[in-house]
């Protein structure tokens, strides 16, 4: 399947991505230490904070409706960045890990590895360290010269999205319905704050979601305290730190945390069938997830003078 994924990704690069020259083994001669350095930092970060695996994977997702490391840029006088966009505020974390990786890479291979390539690689490594599949990374991305809070608010699907909205957001960047369902499986690890799933706290759901009453009661208890705005719940309550197919099993039991998760079962027959397939066979999920990650990692991004290799991921050179 890796050969299939590689061939598929190469075809994607030639067609959908125009001039973006991502490929395999690009840094074998110029910076062979790159991937081992990145993995060592991710391994250290996850050992110190197991939740960091999901956080780093999330960083990649929220960047990769462009795959240009724009999500890492701090605000400047010229633009308001993406860190304070609604999908990212009080949600994204792991920036310091990226800083540490970039600092070491700059000392070993100055201005060679882009921040965008770092994000793609830490996402893969986070999945591997959580017990999930591995795949070969395509490299060669360039970093953006700006960022857009408005674009992040508009492009990133929200936690209350319907299937139609999810499909539209993914198709807008060149990803299909199957990719959307496979990539949603990233929610097999990580946590979410109560405000993001408040719609799941109703016994009779207004959105037609499949509600598990015991599950809803547990969420109501968690989110009823004075600290409800900061309280968090596991996206996968059964195996919260393991990258597996349990997320899809949970959906079939009415235990999807976010409305945009549970709607994959209750909101569309086609997405439900895919969920059922993944719940039955983790290997099918793993293979589809790898292929969709390669597709997402090769999405639109800056080329030539429209991008750069940043020395510091938080600022343009």
Active site residue 62: yes
What's this model's pTM, rounded to 2 decimal places?
0.90
Q: Where are the beta strands (DSSP E) in 120-224?
A: 138-139, 191-193
Three-state SS at 217: helix
Which part of the chain has CATH 1.10.420.10? 178-290
70 is in an annotated binding site: yes
Which part of the chain has CATH 1.10.520.10? 2-156+293-306
Whether residue 120 contacts residue 297, with contact meaning beta carbons closer than 8 Å, is answered with yes
51, 60, 62, 234: which one is catalytic?
62
Cβ neighbours of residue 158 closer than 8 Å, sequence gap 6 or more: 86, 87, 165, 260
99 is in an annotated binding site: no
pLDDT of residue 8: 44
CATH code 1.10.520.10 for 2-156+293-306: yes
117 is in an annotated binding site: no
Find tokens 């974390």 and name the residue: 93
Q: How far apart are CA 25 and CA 302, in angstroms?
A: 20
Q: How far apart are CA 198 and CA 216, in angstroms?
A: 10
205 is in an annotated binding site: no
* Nearest residue to 300 via CA among 87, 71, 19, 88: 19
- In CATH, what number does 178-290 get? 1.10.420.10
Angle at 104 (CA atoms; ends 98, 105), nearest 5 degrees: 85
Q: How far apart are CA 116 and CA 22, in angstroms?
A: 11
Q: State phi, psi for 209 to the nearest 5 degrees.
A: -80, 155
49 is in an annotated binding site: no
Distances (CA, A) of 59 to 38, 129, 188, 248: 15, 16, 15, 22
Q: Which helix (H) or strand (E) holds 105?
A: helix 95-108
The CA dihedral of 7, 31, 54, 227, to the nearest 10 degrees, is -150
214 is in an annotated binding site: no
pLDDT of residue 203: 66
Q: Digits of tens for pLDDT over the chain (317 positions)?
A: 444 444 444 444 443 333 456 889 999 999 999 999 999 999 999 999 999 999 999 999 999 777 899 999 999 888 899 999 888 888 899 999 999 999 999 999 999 999 999 999 999 999 999 999 999 999 999 999 999 899 899 999 999 999 999 999 999 999 999 999 999 999 999 999 999 999 988 865 555 566 788 999 999 999 998 888 889 999 999 999 999 999 999 999 999 999 999 999 998 999 999 999 999 999 999 999 999 999 999 887 777 788 999 999 999 99
Q: Which helix (H) or strand (E) holds 44?
A: helix 34-48
């Amino acid at each position: 399947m890796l050969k299939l994924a590689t061939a598929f990704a190469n075809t994607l690069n030639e067609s959908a991505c125009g001039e973006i020259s991502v490929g395999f083994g690009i840094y074998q001669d110029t910076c062979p230490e790159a991937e081992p350095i990145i993995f060592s930092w991710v391994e250290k970060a996850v050992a110190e904070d197991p939740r960091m695996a999901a956080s780093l994977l999330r960083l990649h997702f929220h960047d990769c409706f462009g795959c240009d490391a724009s999500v890492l840029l701090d605000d400047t006088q010229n633009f308001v960045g993406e860190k304070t966009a609604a999908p990212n505020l009080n949600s994204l974390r792991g920036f310091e890990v990226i800083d540490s990786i970039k600092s070491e890479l700059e000392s070993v291979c100055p201005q060679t590895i882009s921040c965008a390539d770092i994000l793609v690689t830490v996402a893969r490594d986070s999945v591997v360290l959580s017990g999930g599949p591995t795949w070969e990374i395509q490299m060669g991305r360039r970093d953006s010269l700006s960022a857009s809070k408005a674009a992040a608010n508009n492009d990133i699907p929200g936690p209350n999205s319907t299937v139609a909205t999810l499909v539209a957001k993914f198709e807008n960047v060149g990803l299909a319905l199957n990719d959307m369902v496979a990539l949603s499986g990233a929610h097999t690890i990580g946590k979410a704050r109560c405000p993001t799933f408040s719609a799941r706290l109703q016994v009779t759901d207004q959105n037609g979601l499949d509600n598990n009453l015991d599950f809803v009661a547990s969420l109501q208890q968690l989110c009823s305290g004075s600290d409800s705005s900061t309280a968090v719940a596991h996206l996968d309550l059964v195996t919260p730190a393991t990258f597996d197919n349990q997320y899809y099993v949970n959906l079939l039991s009415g235990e999807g945390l976010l409305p945009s998760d549970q709607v994959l079962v209750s909101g569309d027959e086609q997405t439900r069938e895919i969920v059922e397939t993944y719940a039955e066979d983790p290997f099918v999920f793993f293979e589809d997830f790898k292929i969709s990650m390669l597709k997402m990692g090769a999405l639109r991004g800056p080329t030539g003078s429209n991008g750069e290799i940043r020395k510091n991921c938080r600022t343009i050179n």
